[in-house]
């Protein structure tokens, strides 16, 4: 099957197959020593659909933002044809996954009909605008970096609904779920503001797991020792969520070294559980949506 001409995933395919497909792509980069969710995505922008301008979320951000394109604008094959453009010869589609709602009829009587709802993971392919010819320049957005990225970060922090108590009392960054207190070193103790906000975003993502927010099990009931599965999942969730927020505010991610200690642990868990990366990305997206005060339908 040629990915350059195929949009929807082949059938039949199971959710387990999609988990494996996504995980294999992430593992390949981790084994090379690259942390795929920690990239300077500033100039290229957050991945989005060119026509709808709808941003891709969750695991799709990782799959698309690390491809190295100059602009992270994508189209389906049908959309390429719709605007009269063409995919360049030899180009291959880029993987995107989505949850499809399935409705199964359980029982039917004269008065009512019962259904069971479930979600199945599916995938399709999209093409970057750099892979196409014939796209009108009027459709391609002008990429501009924010003039005041620090101000943008402050707006995110101040706009978070029901935030934890943020203090600057100790020379250590942490979030304490029992007291709902987030401590940060003073800004002047960091190398630069990007490091400060990157660290603050990481801890803010942790705080969304509190019982009065998203009630994330890794925060509420998880183990606290390094190397445990719940600890690794929560740290990965916070790392990915922080990267999403840095991309959102337009600041450069300068905290790559913080993930090196976790690579071996993540690789081990990823290879044992194919759902790991998709789950952590989903939790990170929920955390970011909470911090940004967005309203989204929950994905089970």
Element (H, E) at 159: helix 149-159
CA distances from 1 to 4, 5, 25, 121 (A): 9, 8, 19, 20
**Cα(93)–Cα(204) distance, integer angstroms:** 35
More reliable by pLDDT, 265 or 62: 62
Residue 253 scores a pLDDT above 50:
yes
Q: Which two tokens stand for residue 237?
A: 């969730």
| Residue 282 pLDDT | 92
Domain 149-291 classified CATH 3.30.2420? no
pLDDT averaged over every residue in the chain:
80
Whether 291 and 63 have beta carbons less than 8 Å apart is answered as no
pLDDT, tens only, 23-58? 887 787 777 666 666 543 445 778 999 999 999 988
What is the C-alpha separation between 48 and 104, in angstroms, rounded? 32
The answer to whether residue 149 scores a pLDDT higher than 60 is: no
Rounded Cα distance between 95 and 81, Å, is: 19
d(CA 212, CA 175): 15
Tokens read off for 248: 């959102």
Per the listing, tokens 């399709």 go with 124
| Cα–Cα distance for residue pair 122/18, rounded to 1 Å | 7
pLDDT at 297: 45
Task: Break the chain into its structural domains and give their ranges.
Answer: 15-139, 149-291
For the segment 178-201, the average pLDDT, to the nearest whole number, is 87
Percent of residues, the chain, with pLDDT higher than 70: 76
CA distance 97 to 75: 14
| pTM for the full predicted model | 0.62
Q: Label residue 147 by pLDDT band (50, 70, 90).
A: very low
Long-range contacts, 98-104 (Cβ 8 Å, 24+): 98/122, 98/123, 98/124, 99/299
Does position 288 have pLDDT exceeding 70, yes or no? yes
How many residues can be counted in the chain? 300
**Terminal-residue alpha carbon distance, the chain:** 31
List beta partners, residue 167: 183
Distances (CA, A) of 119 to 100, 140, 155: 5, 34, 35
**Closest Cα partner for 72 from 133, 139, 129?**
129
Lateral strand order in the sheet of 113-128: 48-49, 73-75, 113-128, 94-108
In angstroms, the CA 92 to CA 123 distance is: 15
Per-residue pLDDT tens over the stretch 204-241: 999 999 999 999 999 988 666 656 778 888 988 998 89
Sheet containing 181-183: give its strands across. 165-167, 181-183, 174-176
* Non-local CB neighbours of 49 within 8 Å, separated by 6+ positions: 56, 73, 74, 75, 79, 126
Strand partners, 75: 127
């Amino acid at each position: 099957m040629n990915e350059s001409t195929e949009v929807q995933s082949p059938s039949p395919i199971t959710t387990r197959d999609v988990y494996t497909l996504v995980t294999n792509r992430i593992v390949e980069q981790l084994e090379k020593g690259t942390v795929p969710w920690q990239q300077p995505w500033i100039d290229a922008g957050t991945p989005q659909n060119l026509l709808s301008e709808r941003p891709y979320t969750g695991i799709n951000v990782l799959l698309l933002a690390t491809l190295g394109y100059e602009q992270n604008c994508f189209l389906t094959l049908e959309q390429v044809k719709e605007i009269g453009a063409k995919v360049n010869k030899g180009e291959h589609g880029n993987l995107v996954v989505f949850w499809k709602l399935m409705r199964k009829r359980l029982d039917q009587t004269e008065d009512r009909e019962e259904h069971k709802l479930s979600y199945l993971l599916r995938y399709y392919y999209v093409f970057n605008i750099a892979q196409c010819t014939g796209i009108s320049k009027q459709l391609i957005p002008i990429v501009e970096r924010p003039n005041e990225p620090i101000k943008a970060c402050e707006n995110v922090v101040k706009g978070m609904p029901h935030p934890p108590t943020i203090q600057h009392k100790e020379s250590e960054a942490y979030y304490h779920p029992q007291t709902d207190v987030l401590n940060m070193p003073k800004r002047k103790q960091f190398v630069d503001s990007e490091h400060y906000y990157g660290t603050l975003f990481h801890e803010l993502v942790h705080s969304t797991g509190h019982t009065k927010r998203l009630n994330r099990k890794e925060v509420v009931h998880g183990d606290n020792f390094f190397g445990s599965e719940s600890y690794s999942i929560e740290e990965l969730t916070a790392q990915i969520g922080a990267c999403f927020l840095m991309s959102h505010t337009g600041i450069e991610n300068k905290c790559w070294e913080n993930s090196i200690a976790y690579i071996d642990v993540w690789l081990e868990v990823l290879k044992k559980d194919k759902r790991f990366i998709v789950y952590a990305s989903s939790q990170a997206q929920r955390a970011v949506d909470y911090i940004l005060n967005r309203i989204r339908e929950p994905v089970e």
